Amino acid sequence: MPDTKIIKKWDNFWQNVPPDILDDKLDDWYSLVWKVGREYWREIFDKYGKGKKLIECGAGSAKLSLYLAKHGYDCTMLDNSEEGLNLGKARFLKENLTGKFILGDVAKMSFKDATFDIVTSGGLLQHFEDIRPAVKEMVRVLKPGGLFAAIVIPKKFSCQTVGDFEHFVVKFTKNVIKGRFSGIISESKSESPFYINSLSLKQYVEIFQAAGMENISGTGLSPFPSLALPKIGHKVYAEIMKKMMLLWKRFDSSHSKLTEIWGASFGIYGFKK
């Protein structure tokens, strides 16, 4: 049964998301990471997918599915947060796109076996202490030969560790300047309350294999960390990232040990037997 406290946290998260964070401004870290990530997965889906009937599990505001729907994919969005799905519905409506929005639990989906050509999730699986029930269910609804793809935000050393330290220093300094010394250490730490497991890339691949997947490819993605910067700093950082776009994409496609260690996320895909 879904944890109602976690669902409430996500509902609160989506209720308080600034409206412009969902836009593709391409002048900050967030929007650039989304742009590169969407293009990365669309290239894989176009190349290896055996159809365009897709479900995004843990879809939230449906940022990925919205992009894919614009390119001919038949998208179903599943999430346990009604607030997140409402954002997705509004964005699909604004773009005159159609999609199916399902409020439900990824570990207990109502779809028949072998329903989808592609099953994907982005930033979902790290929120489960035991990912096996969710992965088993996601593979169940996938057609034989279908493509399974996931982005996971790992709880490990990565470029984001450096970013989190910078975030801590900035918040700590602000609290000192404001004279807020009570609980200053905990108040200055990164706000990431949803990361539960600390599985390695190898462990994710092994679990996917046990669930009935084969020819699994896993790598580290995204060499640039999120930083706490003033508005002009975000724009400058974005320009640096843009100038290094070719190197960034080579990093994401290299499948090296360096990318696994330094990448802020894991990108994993494979096929149902």
Question: Is the Cα dihedral 42, 48, 50, 54 positive or negative?
Answer: negative
Structural domains in the chain, sorted by start: 4-156+193-226+251-272 (3.40.50.150)
pLDDT digits (tens, 9 = 90+) for 183-223: 888 777 766 545 678 899 999 999 999 999 999 999 999 99
pLDDT at residue number 16: 75
Q: How confident is the model at residue 1 (pLDDT cuts 50, 70, 90)?
A: very low
pTM summary value: 0.91
Question: What is the distance, to the nearest Å, from the Cα of residue 92 to the centroid of all Cα atoms in its chain?
Answer: 19
Cα–Cα distance between 58 and 78 in angstroms, integer?
6
* Phi–psi pair at 197, nearest 5 degrees: -90, 165
Cα–Cα distance between 224 and 221 in angstroms, integer?
9
Tokens 């950082």, residue? 237
pLDDT digits (tens, 9 = 90+) for 21-37: 566 778 899 999 999 99
Taking a C-beta distance cutoff of 8 angstroms, is the pair 99, 75 a contact?
yes
The whole-chain average pLDDT of the chain stands at 91
Query: Residue 254 — left, alpha, or beta (φ > 0 → left; ψ -120 to 50 → alpha)?
Result: alpha
Answer whether residue 69 shows pLDDT above 60.
yes
